[in-house]
């Protein structure tokens, strides 16, 4: 099966995860996809194909080398984001893209515009996969899955290529932050791994945000407004005072690169009580702790008798776990250059399964899968970027066989 046809088949599975079900995996569609993948992995000749009750699928390509080579893993996630519909995805391949706007849905005038998405011009002359403007595409991360499976199929078809043992895994619920929650690192038994879950061609990431979520509860006092003087505490107005004391320029829409931020994601309340949900992000651990402390300090200044701040750490920057084994990043950089891709090493402005896995003992940088505009109707992936991602996987494995 070709890489493209494999990807087009995969996006037909509706696999959006959900924060509402409390199940693992969070949606049945992910299990249906995982079962189909398990059958495919067995059919192409992989061994030790195991799908556990939590929806984690693992498999092995046995070594064909007499040398004791490191075991490399490749990981991608089964689910798509719940931010946009993943039901009834209708992909289309725009061949030999001419640089013009791409009409996704003429009836509803949904257009992938060069003005809005100028990166399209990087792919003139290539083939671009899009959806029909009503759903996301699912390149995040079914492109990664297709690239990994196609690379394994390539090795099976070319037994003359010497390689060590390769482990692959496909995980559920990455999009809701639970992709590594039940990942059995000991069972996976790789020396290191790569998530194939990055964006544009060349992306290579080994650092990410430190992340936390804060719940700020503000207790008010509701009194009849005609007799409220000196008695009423309007929690909504107190919430406004709290928000106003956050650094105005340190929000997602005002920051990039390694700059951190506070992001107010939800605000619900009445005069009697208001609850704020705020996510905290920073690449530097010291600055990250300062951000958390700032929320506590604001609460104290306004009145900690009426404000409580609960902070839950979500994930940490994997850089501290990758730096001692930087050769695994260098191996990926070398592989990219050898297949004609210029590495774009940059921090992830978000999280990845690889961050949590790195702290579980499996160092795990992130490699591009090739897609753009994840989580929405304007998502697209160039076929040639997917092909290069597959070639990078193959070259990493080949070069690993040369390690002394």
**Active site amino acids:** 79, 174
Q: In whole angstroms, what is the distance from residue 323 CA to residue 319 CA?
A: 6
Q: In whole angstroms, what is the distance from residue 201 CA to residue 382 CA?
A: 9
Among 151, 165, 201, CA closest to 48: 165
- Using the 8-state DSSP alphabet, how is residue 135 labeled? S
Examine residue 221 and say whether the peptide bond preceding it is cis (omega within 30 degrees of 0): no
Q: In whole angstroms, what is the distance from residue 350 CA to residue 71 CA?
A: 28
In which region does residue 16 sit, left (phi positive, over 0), alpha (psi from -120 to 50) or beta (all else)? beta
371: tokens are: 């897609």
Contacts of 187 (CB under 8 A, 6+ apart): 58
Q: In whole angstroms, what is the distance from residue 332 CA to residue 328 CA?
A: 7
Q: In whole angstroms, what is the distance from residue 203 CA to residue 134 CA?
A: 28
In which region does residue 361 sit, left (phi positive, over 0), alpha (psi from -120 to 50) or beta (all else)? left
Q: Which residues of 52-88 are buried (b: 16+ CB within 10 A; e: fewer)?
A: eebbbbbbbbebeeeeebebbbbbbbbbbbbebebee
Among 389, 398, 339, 44, CA closest to 194: 389
Give 262's strand partners.
Answer: 280
């Amino acid at each position: 099966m070709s890489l493209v046809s494999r990807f087009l088949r995969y996006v037909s599975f509706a696999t959006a995860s959900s924060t509402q079900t409390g199940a693992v995996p969070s949606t049945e569609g992910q299990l249906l996809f995982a079962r189909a993948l398990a059958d495919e992995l067995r059919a192409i000749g992989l061994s030790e194909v195991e799908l556990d009750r939590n929806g984690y699928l693992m498999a092995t390509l046995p070594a064909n080398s007499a040398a004791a080579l490191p075991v490399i893993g490749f990981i991608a996630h089964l689910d798509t984001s719940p931010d946009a519909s993943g039901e009834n995805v209708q992909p289309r391949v725009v061949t030999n893209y001419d640089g013009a706007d791409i009409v996704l849905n003429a009836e509803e005038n949904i257009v992938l515009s060069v003005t809005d998405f100028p990166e399209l011009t990087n792919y003139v002359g290539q083939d671009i996969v899009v959806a029909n403007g009503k759903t996301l595409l699912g390149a995040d991360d079914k492109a990664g899955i297709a690239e990994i499976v196609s690379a394994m199929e390539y090795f099976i078809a070319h037994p003359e290529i010497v390689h060590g043992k390769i482990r692959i895994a496909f995980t559920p619920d990455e999009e809701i932050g639970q992709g590594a929650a039940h990942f059995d690192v000991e069972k996976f038994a790789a020396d290191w791994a790569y998530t194939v879950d990055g964006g544009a061609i060349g992306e290579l990431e080994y650092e990410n945000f430190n992340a936390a979520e804060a719940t700020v509860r503000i207790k008010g006092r509701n009194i009849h407004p005609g007799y409220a003087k000196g008695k009423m505490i309007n929690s909504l107005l107190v919430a406004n005072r709290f928000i106003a004391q956050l650094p105005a320029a340190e929000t997602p829409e005002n920051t990039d690169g390694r700059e951190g931020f506070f992001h107010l994601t939800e605000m619900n309340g009445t005069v009697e009580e208001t609850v704020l949900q705020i996510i905290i992000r920073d690449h530097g651990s010291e600055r990250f702790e300062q951000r958390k402390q700032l929320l506590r300090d604001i609460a104290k200044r306004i009145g900690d008798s009426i404000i409580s701040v609960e902070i839950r750490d979500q994930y940490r920057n994997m850089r501290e776990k990758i730096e001692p084994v930087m050769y695994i990043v260098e191996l990926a950089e070398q592989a990219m250059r050898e297949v004609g891709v210029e590495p774009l090493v940059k921090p992830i402005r978000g999280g990845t399964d690889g961050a949590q896995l790195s702290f579980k003992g499996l160092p795990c940088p992130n490699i591009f899968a090739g897609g753009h505009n994840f989580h929405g109707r304007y998502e697209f992936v160039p076929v040639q970027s997917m092909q290069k991602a597959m070639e990078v996987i193959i070259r990493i494995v080949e070069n690993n066989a040369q390690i002394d």
